[in-house]
Structure 1
Amino acid sequence: MEQDRRRHGGRARAVLAVVAAAVLGVAGCDAVGGGDPAPSGSGARQGRPSPSPTPSWDTGPASVAAVGDSITTGFDACGVLSDCPEVSWATGTGEQVDSLAVRLLGRAGAAERSWNHAVSGARMADLPRQMDRAVRRRPELVTVMIGANDACRPTPSAMTPVEEFRANFEDALRRLRTALPKTQVYVASVPDLKRLWSQGRTSPMAKQVWKLGICPSMLADPDAVDAAAVQRRETVRQRVEDYNRVLAEVCAEDRRCRHDGGAVHAFRFGTRQLSRWDYFHPSVDGQARLAEIAHRAVTAEGPVT
């Protein structure tokens, strides 16, 4: 009898253990629902819809700040050897150009919510400080066009080294990202300086203005075609290509940066698109063409290639 009681007691304890395990199992499943916190990890992701991803590029930014050099200040577009920011491709409000800011914000909006921090003669080493000034405005888009003056030095040997050019550009973008992580950047390529030489060298007035010191590494002795002159211009041309490679590479590392895909460098500036005083800087018409290029890049659904 005692043996039978032990057998029955053992079976009873086994049954109780199975029932307890089942109850705990049910309780464990129920704990996922109700007011208790949901589990973390992949199980939670599978159990609820994912939020819509935030677009990395907004084709309609509400404010624009420009940084760069004399091209963005409208130098020589309205008068000889003077800035003319009202026709700037980036932020100008003049009706002749329809700048990027006007196309994005309207003329009244461009007057209120666009700012030009470009400086004639600026080089890439100046860009970090310009970016600091732009950041204070908290723009939704910053335009960058710089690099021509890094190549336009007294001699080719004085041109900005490529790695120094890269370091300063990275520094400028780093300053922007630290202050404004979501601000977008449009980066224009450096124009083809050798083409500008070939367009202007037939103009007596242009050659006289060039003697005042406009891009001597490329434009000095514009009629010279000896081996040394050819090599000098080729060295400058190659350096511009190196700068453009850096601009594209650094921009590609930032998901909120768009490069123009080389569109400005490839644009074939003719006499109508060049200043009638120096045949080097963009004319009003040239500024309008730059605005068109920028607008296409900024409003495109995807990056320009």
Structure 2
Amino acid sequence: MVDIFDRIELAVRDIFGEGPVCVHVGDVKGCGIKRHPTYSALHSDAIRAGVRSGSASRLWESLITMGRLCDLDGGDTWRLVILDCITPCFRSLSSNVSREFRVDRSDIRSAMVATALEVWADTSTGVPRRVRDLMVKAAFDVAFRRGKAVSSDCLIDDLELLRCEAPAQGSDLSAHSIIDVNGIRDADVAEQIRGERFGSLLQRSGCFGAVAGFHSEIRSGRRTGSVGQAVEVSGSTRSRISGRSSYYYSSDLYPSFVGLLEAASVMGIAESAARRLIRAGQFPFPVARAGRSYMVSVRALMHFMDIPDVIVHVDYVENGATHASGGVR
């Protein structure tokens, strides 16, 4: 299906055809430079220049200048050229966001183009050196916002939708799965559903063996989660039954940091793109430098992806795992 990216590409190639293109003054005959590339060659050079450093590229400065001059004349040819030269780096991201968040890809791509054009209009005074990078970053941001806006509010709900297994015989989790936890006024009931969903997910994913060890350490007092804050935020009365130390955040099960490759995969972008954003100071949250590598805080990544760091109680998590395993752990 033809989307906005394809329409831009077709429109520009229809304008220039296979003839030479002048990015210096816009007119091959009036340019003092005698050798000019075809549009296909110019397009390839612009993409490579953007990957290296769009802000420092002479080619991109020329493209932006031509775009501004074309705007003054009331045309849109060079604005389309600029879009056509940056949308290739949008393609894989838009496809990943569409797949991960189950959003229509054409809607994501239309939003990215519209946002890039808004940045173009907002930077119309002069020729900012980083205008290309600003357009790309804004388009990336809106893609993630669109995806997260229509996704589930809870990571556990999202993951359950991807799984096709029937609920265990006699389990009441099938009823819980259609309940919006945020709409439940009783804090204890909401806490129970969150914990059982989390335990069910871990059991179905084959991860509960490691979690059982974590729970054993909590019960023995050798380890605690983020206890005080968890109980305070939860507002639950369950701490009177089995103690404050039995609560933990779901993020306590994860490592504190992951490598940039893993983080980029979760964000739906290539590691190379993540590195470029870090070097340009445009990565959406701080990262730690470890020699030549980057380490990403899991909690910061969860916050950026709008993945709730849910508060759970060991009893409810274990109950959910028991339900998911058919009553046998």
Q: TM-score, normalised by structure 2?
A: 0.23
Q: TM-score, normalised by structure 1?
A: 0.24
> Which has the higher Rg, Structure 1 or Structure 2?
1
